[in-house]
Structure 1
Amino acid sequence: MPALPNRLTSADVYRGFVMLLMMGEVLRFHKVAEALPDSTFWAFLAHHQDHVEWIGCSLHDLIQPSFSFLVGVVLPYSISSRLTQESSFSKVFIHALKRSLILILLGVFLRSQNKVQTYFTFEDTLSQIGLGYPILFLLGFRSQKIQISALIIILVGYWLAFALYPLPDINFDYVNAGVTKDWEHNLTGFAAHWNKNTNLAWAFDRWFLNLFPREKPFLFNGGGYATLSFMPTLGTMILGLLAGNILKSTTIPTKKIKTFVILGISGLAIGLALNWLGICPNVKRIWTPTWVLFSGGWCFLFIAFFYWIVDVKQKEDKFYFLKVIGMNSIAAYCIADALGSYISKSLKIHLGENYGAIFGDPYQSLVHGGLMLLIYWLLLRWMFNKKLFIRI
């Protein structure tokens, strides 16, 4: 039997697809949709390039779970590679702790841009992964039974913690929570335990984030995002770990794909059922247990598709564009986050404020964003050709 690959190309391509969705925010489909209000096509694209307000899912909402899921997918390969370089488990684990700390600090650094001081919050993708990574790493050395048990404990425990947290009373200060009592997306009944900025995770951040130096006291996150979401995010990474173990096994490819499809459909079905029954709403912004299962279902279907077409059908050459991005995902993240505004301003300085109107006023943002996206990719391709990869 041939040796198993040390690198999973389909994971690189899937990651490239995910990062392209993130970098593609510069296309600003919503601007085109606003300029062409009668176009259902642009309205559809705009919807899927933005997060839903609370319950539900758009394509854009699947970026962070996919990125987190892929951390788990590649972990078995990473552990195998690292153990061939290090002589002891302790050294490998210390490396994992360093990686975790770097991810957390990089997230804080990127969010602190244009701030008067370091902006300590931990709800972004990098920090969320960093907070849960040491636990994921340790689970990577345990049996599938223990990994699944850990997943169940995390999901049930997190659900129970929210369910037991008291609902707002009549004296609750909605103004200082950044919401209104009659917000259209507020849930009623038992599901109200997962309402925006009135839940357990919001209460935790009101205490935890004010332990750090701040320009002004932390009261709420405008989007409802929370630090404690790293726990269910860890659940998403465990789903990826289970997928990675399957991919690294000697099971025949068709059986792997079949397993992923079954798990994917099951995750979607269970997630929809839990939301519909009112047991736990499907909310990405606070990463409810239902969201872990629902978004995880999509992730299993995505990895099934990319594994089939890239690794099984060996169509890797068709996805060169995505591979360039996916093999340098941290660089892509930093380029888009740290250099995006600089590149945007430079283009307008040298090409003129309205150069994007070459195809008509409604498409200004699309042309400008498209050129920015091209520059991002060319930078990544240069790094790819020079074999310059940012590894953490």
Structure 2
Amino acid sequence: MDAYRGFVMFLMTAELLSFHRLHEAFPDSSFWAFLAHHQDHVEWAGCSLHDLIQPSFSFLVGVALPYSIASRQLKGQSFNVQFGHALRRSLILILLGIFLRSTHREQTNFTFEDTLTQIGLGYPFLFLLGHARPKIQWGAFAAILAGYWLMFILYPAPGADFVYSAVGVPADWQEHYTGLMAHFNKNSNLAWAFDTWFLNLFPRPKPFLYNGGGYATLSFIPTLGTMLLGLQAGNWLRGGFDNQALLKRFVLAGVAGLVLGTLCHLLGICPVVKRIWTPAWVLFSGGWCFLLLAFFYWVIDVRKKRRWAFPLVVIGMNSIAIYCLVHLIDGFIMNSFYIHFGHAPFRIFGEAYEQLLVGSLTLAVFWVLLWWMYRRKLFIRI
């Protein structure tokens, strides 16, 4: 789990390498085009490697929960004490997410669509379901997906006279859907309508009209579905299965998720869209999460190939620390390199590679900080 989590957090911090700049400098290079594509989110429907960061992080929260519950039960903690901790953790995650999104702004930026706030909003429900039987957990998962889909379908789809330009979407945008899937169009769906009410309850420099990326507060509901998939994986890990049986479950669950999510999209039932965390996205991204977990489990726990994963483990064991560091001091570190060394050393391979080099050195600084914390057993937990 730590290696998988470290891989996810590395993908997040690797944004500092700015592959898109190299793609812009070398537009004919398929190599840089490929890396740039997978270091960015798709516009609406579909998936890149970068799009799997948030679902993987959410999935792993679910995987870890059975271990956390078992550990606290061994310490003799009552259910009420454990639930109190879950509520505190939820509140801290929400406030931390808002704090990080408010840096470099003139006032608090009340927004609830980022990774930490989304997990925080759903975590108390995950905790309660973590104490339920597997049948109830699966039932809750199905109810979340079906209920969320139905909520969107019942909300009126945008009509022919809907002014998309007023919500930051080109009228001729190629990602517009018709028919049933039109209920999931960008900034014209139920989640967008909810946020135009909910987010304006908080003090803002100007009224909230839309999110430029189409992200939404209500996504925490299907994100809970992603965490429930992780909860099942955690239950299986603690279930006493042998390696082959466990790998088979992970792979079958992964393939099933990919197939079901893709079919929902192709049949026009529900698009695979991360930005509003559609039910089809829960299935599709959950499939990838199971397959990634299967890969790390097979290599590290079955094949016992662990040395290569040490750099990832160092990152994964302090995921909250690296999440905060990247959001708070990445610019400070890069500016410090320029202050003390100037731009010339980072242009040794040409100006196009400057951001790649300074970003790589910044990543190295972050890793050394985490390694120092790892050596001294300093782990930030919430």
What TM-score does the superposition give when structure 2 sets the normalisation length? 0.98
Distance 1:220 1:341 in 2: 28
Query: Unaligned regions of 5+ residues in structure 1, if any?
Result: 1-10
Distance 2:99 2:163 in 1: 32
Distance 1:269 1:171 in 2: 36
Q: Does 1:73 align with 2:73?
A: no
Distance 1:194 1:215 in 2: 28
Distance 1:251 1:243 in 2: 12
Partner of 2:331: 341
Q: Does 1:190 align with 2:168?
A: no
Partner of 2:114: 124
Q: Does 1:201 align with 2:167?
A: no
Query: Is contact 1:86–1:92 with CA below 8 Å preserved after alignment?
Result: no
Q: Does 1:46 align with 2:36?
A: yes
Partner of 1:5: none
Q: 1:229 aligns with which of 219, 223, 235?
A: 219
- 1:83-119 Cα deviation digits (max 9, x unpaired): 2234311011000000000000000000000111110
Query: Is contact 2:158–2:182 with CA below 8 Å preserved after alignment?
Result: no
The correspondence of residues 246-325 of structure 1 with structure 2, limited to 5 A, is: 246-325=236-315
Query: Is contact 1:281–1:290 with CA below 8 Å preserved after alignment?
Result: yes
Partner of 2:375: 385
Q: Does 1:365 align with 2:355?
A: yes
Counterparts in 2 of 1:31 and 1:340: CA distance versus 1, 3 Å? same
- 1:319-348 Cα deviation digits (max 9, x unpaired): 110000000000010011111111121111
Q: Secondary structure at the match of 2:348?
A: helix
- 1:142-197 Cα deviation digits (max 9, x unpaired): 01000000000000000000011102235534333121322121112221110100
Amino acid at match of 1:120: F
* RMSD over equivalenced CA pairs, Å: 1.0
Distance 1:107 1:201 in 2: 19
Partner of 1:6: none
What TM-score does the superposition give when structure 1 sets the normalisation length? 0.96
Amino acid at match of 2:325: I
- 1:259-301 Cα deviation digits (max 9, x unpaired): 1101101110111111011100000110000000000000000
Q: Does 1:58 align with 2:48?
A: yes
Query: Unaligned regions of 5+ residues in structure 2, if any?
Result: none
Q: Secondary structure at the match of 1:142?
A: coil
Report the CA distance between 1:316 and its aligned residue.
2.2
Distance 2:161 2:35 in 1: 42
Report the CA distance between 1:47 and its aligned residue.
0.3
Deviates more, 1:373-382 or 1:358-367: 358-367
Query: Is contact 1:191–1:281 with CA below 8 Å preserved after alignment?
Result: yes
Distance 2:57 2:26 in 1: 32
- Identity in percent: 63
Amino acid at match of 2:159: D
Query: Is contact 1:74–1:241 with CA below 8 Å preserved after alignment?
Result: yes
Query: Is contact 2:94–2:120 with CA below 8 Å preserved after alignment?
Result: yes
Q: Does 1:104 align with 2:94?
A: yes
Amino acid at match of 2:343: E
Distance 2:278 2:340 in 1: 46
Q: Secondary structure at the match of 1:359?
A: coil
